[in-house]
Amino acid sequence: MKQVAFVVAASELEDYKITEVIQELAKRDISAEIVAFDEDTASPDWGKYDLILPTPSLDYTHQYERLLQWVAHLEKTGAALANPGPVIRWNTHKSYLLQLREKGISLPHTGVIQSGSTMEQVVAQTESLGCKELVVKPMVGASGKDTSRVMVDNKIDLENIVKLCKDQELLVQEFIPEILTCGEFSLIFFNGVFSHGVRKFNVTGDFRIQGSYGGQVEQLIVDDEQGHVIKTFAQRALQIAPFQNLLYARVDVTLAKPSQEDSPLTLAGTTPVLMELEVFEPDLFTGGNPAAAKRYAEAIRRRIQENNGQKC
């Protein structure tokens, strides 16, 4: 019997659930364990797993060095990390977005605030984007943590940015107001093939669509015009990324008013922009979607076979 590990942080061991996928894996003669990467006492034998699968409960942003050490350890010992180490290092630093922008993928107007920037530097950087309202977020961040909406002419907001960048780099972006009405679309791909999508939205007025801020999730219909445009954009972003043949990937997209250089794909006066391309520990939204759970389990089975040099 083959064996896989779904990786979480020790603090999440009891709570993490991926029941439907585990049931589908069992039908394929694959057993699954939930394993912590940051256990202080004993280190698991990672070599015994046929595939190691990071999950959204792998809470790492406050222990990034530890995560990088874990990834390096798996690489050194040849353990079967699903999406490989270089992909994880690339994807956990949001500067990858700027690289994708260079390659023609539309983002909200985006800049970088260096670690340790002074008030003067923060003012210069935020003003240079030419937008009144911005979103500021850590370069290494997840789940909307330390992500805030700021006004470029508000002194308190700017002081908060100076505090936040004291010992970390930040990404600063034009605030996309459509997040409040359209929400954010997540498109999930297994082995490069589109599987399913969701729309995440928040009716509480908070701009962050994560559940912890009151956000909700619904299945995305991809057969209509909007779905088609978003899916085409997501596929392009994935094809342009420097890593291919990824077991899983999630592309987060929102809709924004087009600026001149934006892609010609327009939808009721808006165009897709990339929020994130998540290829490390995304929520793949298989819960409550049996067909998606089945496709994920099947992708895992195929990947194990490929890794073993067998034909699928």
Verify binding: residue 175, ligand ADP, rule CB under 6 A.
yes
Pick the closer one to ligand ADP by CB: 78 or 130: 130
Site for ligand ADP in 79-118 (CB under 6 A): 108
Verify binding: residue 274, ligand ADP, rule CB under 6 A.
no
Amino acid at 128: S
Q: Which of the choices ligand ADP, Mg ion, none does residue 125 contact, using the CB cut-off of 5 to 8 A by kind?
A: none
275 touches 184 (CB < 8 A):
yes
Verify binding: residue 59, ligand ADP, rule CB under 6 A.
no
Smallest distance from ligand ADP to CB 146, Å? 8
How far CA 133 is from CA of 151, 174, 177, in Å, comes to 5, 6, 9
Longest dimension (CA), the chain: 61
**Count of C-beta atoms within a 10 Å radius of residue 140:** 17
- Judged by phi (left if over 0) then psi (alpha if -120 to 50, else beta), residue 11 lies in alpha
Which residue, among 172, 218, 170, has the nearest Cα to 198 in the 3D structure?
218
164 touches 138 (CB < 8 A):
yes
Pick the closer one to ligand ADP by CB: 116 or 177: 177
> Given the rule CB under 5 A, which of 21-29, 157-165, 268-276, 288-296 is the region that contacts Mg ion?
268-276
Residue nearest to Mg ion according to CB distances in the complex: 276
Verify binding: residue 285, ligand ADP, rule CB under 6 A.
no
Site for ligand ADP, rule CB under 6 A? 108, 135, 137, 141-145, 147, 173-176, 179, 184, 207-209, 275-276
Q: Binding residues for Mg ion, per CB under 5 A?
A: 276
